[in-house]
Structure 1
């Protein structure tokens, strides 16, 4: 199969490298120092101290690649539109674009450029981090990418994609509902990201301080309530399950949005926290904790700029 990976950060690099190892034709769309590193040194994945390097095809112009079977959109949610608009040369009549972004807004943003018919919502479950341009470390987790059609209906292209992933060692079980997965991941990622960015505390501290623990649980509940109001069938006990999952993570854990905000870098504040506020208003569900975190962190972002 022919794949194009837009964005050679941690997520795109990890999945792209696995697909290359499995014999697929994979090209990367990258720029700047990352593009130069891929061309000069190839792509390296570090797993438990072992470093594996593959030679890759990389360009800053999608026209050099042409139509592919699948595009893995591995840029941050804030970059989706700007990354996909000039990548039209990748999209043929049967091409599918797989979303990987944190939060619930990745599929909507993707479809606004390529259309729903070309969009396959995806949920990443892997702890990966970019060490330097062209070098990514796999730090744990299932290493999976779960995908489904927008409607959750079966299709030949999703079946073929899952097989390609599984054959490459990328877990891709059939989800009961891909939207449930997206909202459930947001319950895990967004509240600790927002609260952690405000307080400067890692996940373990948020959970161990009773007042902050209550806020974290209440914010997690807000997301569940918005999802249910939007017609997503969230499992009974999903809030308790999310908190239990939080407690199983290393106490020093922080989210990428939290780290970006605290470092003054561009962040996914709008498509993560802002999306919960927006979807809550649309559904008539109050999200006071997310509104508070969003407004406070917008001030911090403006001060940094």
Structure 2
């Protein structure tokens, strides 16, 4: 099975590197700047007392001339439209596209371009970042993919995908209800983002102040109410896990969006929070805390764009 990983960043680089180490046929679709760095340093996964280094098989958009069997889409919100245009030559009549972006709305964009039959649902659980050297740094012992057909119906092509992704050094789960799994992940990540970004602190720092835990639980409740209104209520075990994570005493954990925010970088506010708030409004679900953090991050993003140096 030929696999094209779109992006070699914190998520795509991590899963693609493990797949390549396990002997799978993996090509990374990257932009020229990232390609140059990877050719110079190799693709490295570091942290947690281990280091993986390999020479990845790379492709630029102009290099794609034939379909792949599986396309793993791992870019962030801002890069999705460009990625769709770049990966189009790699999609044939039997290609399966597995996106693992946060939220839901990216599925609509992929379906519009490639059709219902091509697009799977997917969820990634990973705690990684790109360090100052351009390497992928693991921040926690976390790494798994969940995937499935969005209508829950079997697809023979997915059997081979599951065999290929299994046994590569990360969790691989074939789900019969991937849409609920996507909503559950969305509620979790949106809650972590809202708590840490609105309060400008880690989970432990928020929990440590009076009212912090109560605030965090209220954020989870708002996000869960949106999922329930959409017809995909989060299972109680997942909700309990989300509440435990956002109220854990002393936890140094913060979302990647928070790390981007405090690092002065662009943030995925629309994909993770803006779309959730919009769906809440359409369903008549009140989400004042989620609206507040979304507005705050939009102000930040607008300021960032106004002060960014002009290209060229």
Structure 2 length-normalised TM: 0.90
Provide the secondary structure at the position in 1 that maps to 2:19. helix
Q: CA–CA distance in 1 between the matches of 2:207 and 2:62? A: 45
For the 8 Å contact 2:195–2:219, the answer to whether it is kept is no
Note if 1:186 corresponds to 2:186: yes
Note if 1:273 corresponds to 2:276: no
1:158-173 alignment, distance < 5 Å: 158-173=158-173
How far the C-alpha of 1:109 sits from its partner, in A, is 3.4
Q: Where in structure 1 are there 5+ consecutive unaligned residues?
A: none
Distance 1:24 1:238, change over 3 A: closer
How far the C-alpha of 1:99 sits from its partner, in A, is 1.0
Provide the secondary structure at the position in 1 that maps to 2:69. strand
1:148 match = 148
2:225 match = 225
1:33 match = 33
How far the C-alpha of 1:13 sits from its partner, in A, is 0.7
For the 8 Å contact 2:74–2:100, the answer to whether it is kept is yes
1:47-58 alignment, distance < 5 Å: 47-58=47-58
For the 8 Å contact 2:144–2:171, the answer to whether it is kept is yes
Q: CA–CA distance in 2 between the matches of 1:68 and 1:183? A: 28
Between 261-270 and 91-100, the greater mean CA deviation after superposition? 261-270
Q: Where in structure 2 are there 5+ consecutive unaligned residues?
A: 306-312
2:308 match = none
Note if 1:304 corresponds to 2:304: yes
Residue by residue over 1:201-231, the C-alpha shift from the partner in whole angstroms, topping out at 9 and shown as x without a partner, is 1111222324232222112111111111111
Between 53-62 and 264-273, the greater mean CA deviation after superposition? 53-62
Q: CA–CA distance in 1 between the matches of 2:249 and 2:176? A: 24
Note if 1:12 corresponds to 2:5: no
For the 8 Å contact 2:190–2:273, the answer to whether it is kept is yes
Residue by residue over 1:72-93, the C-alpha shift from the partner in whole angstroms, topping out at 9 and shown as x without a partner, is 1110023212211232110000
For the 8 Å contact 1:43–1:55, the answer to whether it is kept is yes
Q: CA–CA distance in 2 between the matches of 1:20 and 1:133? A: 21
Between 129-138 and 259-268, the greater mean CA deviation after superposition? 129-138
Q: CA–CA distance in 2 between the matches of 1:169 and 1:62? A: 31
How far the C-alpha of 1:111 sits from its partner, in A, is 2.3
Distance 1:100 1:39, change over 3 A: same
Between 171-180 and 282-291, the greater mean CA deviation after superposition? 171-180
Q: CA–CA distance in 2 between the matches of 1:125 and 1:65? A: 31
Provide the secondary structure at the position in 1 that maps to 2:96. strand
How far the C-alpha of 1:131 sits from its partner, in A, is 2.1
How far the C-alpha of 1:134 sits from its partner, in A, is 5.2
For the 8 Å contact 2:98–2:121, the answer to whether it is kept is yes
1:235 match = 235
Structure 1 length-normalised TM: 0.91
1:109 match = 109
CA RMSD of aligned residues (A): 2.1
Residue-pair matches, total: 305
Q: CA–CA distance in 1 between the matches of 2:62 and 2:134? A: 19
Distance 1:25 1:88, change over 3 A: same
